């Protein structure tokens, strides 16, 4: 058994947990602790706070999933002022081994190692993800994360994080034409991330309101998602349905581009919130609506990962992968 401090850092929160990694690669997380990044001047300060909560000592191993690029001598976070200097990890944190990965790369590692009961079926054949082949992964949140996982029946796997969220948005009907036209007023180029991410519900609802000639108040995306999920606002609920259609189209396009015929996984905090809605939405029809490839798309299992802490689990899995702990 090897213990690792798993860390998942975004713009608002930093989550910490002790991960127990068995010799066979099985991973068990202790209860996570969530800190607000705004409450700490640096990652080192947050690390010390977590260490104090654990009695003053931590395992000499850390694996970090970071929202943003992870290369270079200085790692800067996308939405908070912290920085990480990998060359100083040993002296600043008193650790002997470390792994640093992009947050969505960590999700890919979580998909590779999570047990089957951590996935729910969305569409396609109700069977496990392929043990040999490519699996496409995408997750709507503040933006749209995209990765792919290749694994072999011999037990090996590789994860590649991508910038697939920045592919051009391709509307399929008149409503999506209108969404695109609205977004083009502010963006010369409209990527799929502008339509398939949490904040996009604002623009989707505004477009629907304009089509109906209705005036709507300005509201943030959190408020709109809450009302949409509660089905207490007809326009917000219609925007949610439209979001699911676009997510299905995008998932299908990503799958074709990556060759993710071994399965598709929807991840991310918003994906998790939609777990009860997606199976009954137009997601599946749009996923399959790829012309001559409709039959092929219908043969691909599409899952939603429901692990409560995929970032932390994936960070621990990335450490196990890099440092030679078998699955």
The tens digit of pLDDT for each residue in 244-268 reads: 999 999 999 999 999 999 999 999 8
pLDDT above 60 for 327: no
- Statement: residue 326 has pLDDT above 70: no
Which element (helix H / strand E) includes 7? Answer: strand 2-9
Residue at 185 is within a domain? yes
Q: How far is CA 64 from CA 53, 54, 163, 241, in A?
A: 19, 18, 20, 35
Q: Which two tokens stand for residue 121?
A: 């079926």
Q: Within this chain, do residues 98 and 182 fall inside the same structural domain, yes or no?
A: no
Mean pLDDT to the nearest integer, 37-45: 93
- Position 12 confidence tier, pLDDT thresholds 50, 70, 90: confident
Residue 179's pLDDT band, with cuts at 50, 70 and 90, is very high
Look at residue 1 in the predicted model and tell me its pLDDT. 84
Q: What share of the chain in percent tops pLDDT 90?
A: 82
The CB density around residue 300, as the number of other CB atoms within 10 Å, is 23
pLDDT band at 78 (very low <50, low <70, confident <90, very high): low
CATH number, domain with residue 170: 3.40.367.20
Predicted confidence band at 23 (pLDDT cuts at 50, 70, 90)?
A: confident
Asked if residue 34 belongs to a known ligand binding site, the reply is: no
Distances from the Cα of 45 to the Cαs of 14, 90, 94, 292, in angstroms?
A: 12, 15, 13, 55
Residue 309: how many CA atoms within 13 Å on its side-chain side?
25
Helix (H, G, I), strand (E, B) or coil at 135: strand
Are both 54 and 177 inside the same structural domain? no
Inside any domain, residue 158: no
- Report the chain's mean pLDDT, rounded to a whole number: 93
Closest CA to 120 of 246, 277, 288, 320: 277
Nearest partner of 151 among 142, 159, 140, 141, judged by Cα: 159
pLDDT confidence of 80, banded at 50, 70, 90? confident
Q: What is the CATH number of the domain that holds 20?
A: 3.30.420.40
Taking CA atoms, 232 is separated from 223, 227, 228, 237, in Å, by 11, 6, 7, 8
Mean per-residue pLDDT for 216-237? 92
pLDDT tier for residue 240 given thresholds of 50, 70 and 90: very high
Q: Is the pLDDT of residue 29 over 90?
A: yes
Checking if the pLDDT of 87 tops 60, the result is yes
Answer yes or no: is 133 within a domain: no
285 and 262 co-located in one domain: yes
Q: Please name every residue paired with 62 in a beta bridge, in sequence order, or none if there are none.
A: 5, 98
Structural domain includes residue 145: no
**Same domain, yes or no, for 100 and 203?**
no
Same domain, 179 and 270: yes
Indicate if 56 and 172 belong to the same structural domain: no
Where does the pLDDT of residue 68 fall: very low under 50, low under 70, confident under 90, or very high at 90 and above?
confident
Q: What angle do CA 224, 305, 130 make, to 5 degrees?
A: 140
Q: Are residues 288 and 315 in the same domain?
A: no
> Is 241 annotated as ligand-binding?
no
Would you say 11 is a known binding-site residue?
yes
pLDDT (average), residues 164-175: 95
Q: What angle do CA 221, 226, 227 make, to 5 degrees?
A: 100
| Contact between 261 and 300 (Cβ < 8 Å) | yes
Domain count, the chain: 2
- Number of other residues whose CB lies within 10 A of the CB of residue 88: 11
My answer on whether 102 and 215 are in the same domain is: no
Q: Are residues 195 and 223 in the same domain?
A: yes
Q: Supply the pLDDT for residue 231.
A: 86
Question: Which of 61-65, 133-137, 188-192, 323-327 is predicted with the least confidence, judged by mean pLDDT?
Answer: 323-327
Task: Tally the residues of the chain.
Answer: 327
| 197 assigned to some structural domain | yes
Domain shared by 109 and 220, yes or no: no
Residues 105 and 187 occupy one common structural domain: no
Check whether 285 has a pLDDT greater than 80.
yes
Residue 20: predicted pLDDT: 96
Instruction: Report, as an integer, the average pLDDT of 197-208.
Output: 96
- Residue 46 belongs to a domain: yes
212 part of a folded domain: yes
Question: 134: annotated binding-site residue?
Answer: no
Q: Do the domain assignments include residue 28?
A: yes
User: Is position 271 annotated in a ligand binding site?
Assistant: no
Model pTM score:
0.91
The Cα–Cα gap between 138 and 252 comes to: 11
* Range from 73-87, 90-104, 273-287 carrying the lowest mean pLDDT: 73-87
Q: pLDDT class for 90, splitting at 50, 70, 90?
A: very high
Same domain, 37 and 110: yes
CA separation for the pair 117, 47 (Å, rounded): 32
Q: Is 9 annotated as a binding residue?
A: yes
Domain that holds residue 9: 2-114+307-322
């Amino acid at each position: 058994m090897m213990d690792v401090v798993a860390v998942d850092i975004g713009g608002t929160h930093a989550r910490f947990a002790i991960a127990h990694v068995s010799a066979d690669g099985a991973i068990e997380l202790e209860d996570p602790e969530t800190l607000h990044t705004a409450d700490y001047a640096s990652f080192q300060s947050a690390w010390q706070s977590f260490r104090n909560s654990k009695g003053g000592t931590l395992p000499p191993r850390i694996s970090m999933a970071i929202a943003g690029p992870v290369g270079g001598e200085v790692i800067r976070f996308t939405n908070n002022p912290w920085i990480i200097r990998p060359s100083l990890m040993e002296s600043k944190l008193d650790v002997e081994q470390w792994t640093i990965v992009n947050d969505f790369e960590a999700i890919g590692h979580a998909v590779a190692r999570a047990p089957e009961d951590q996935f729910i079926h969305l569409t396609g054949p109700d069977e496990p993800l392929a043990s040999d082949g490519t699996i496409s992964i995408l997750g709507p949140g503040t933006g749209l994360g995209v990765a792919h996982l290749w694994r072999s029946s011999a037990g090996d796997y590789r994860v590649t994080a991508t910038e697939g969220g920045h592919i051009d948005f391709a509307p399929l009907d008149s409503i999506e034409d209108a969404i695109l036209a609205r977004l083009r007023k502010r963006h010369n180029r409209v990527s799929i991330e502008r339509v398939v991410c949490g904040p996009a519900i604002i623009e989707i609802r505004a477009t629907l309101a304009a089509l109906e000639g209705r005036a709507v108040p300005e509201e943030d995306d959190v408020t709109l998602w809450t009302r949409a999920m509660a089905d207490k606002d007809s326009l917000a609920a219609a925007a949610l349905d439209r979001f699911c259609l676009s997510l299905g189209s995008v998932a299908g396009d990503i799958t074709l581009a990556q060759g993710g015929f071994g399965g598709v996984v929807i991840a991310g905090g918003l994906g998790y919130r939609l777990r009860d809605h997606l199976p009954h939405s137009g997601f599946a029809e749009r996923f399959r609506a790829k012309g001559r490839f409709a039959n092929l798309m219908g043969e691909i299992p599409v899952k939603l990962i429901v692990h409560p802490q995929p970032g932390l689990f994936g960070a621990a899995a990335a450490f196990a992968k890099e440092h030679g702990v078998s699955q």
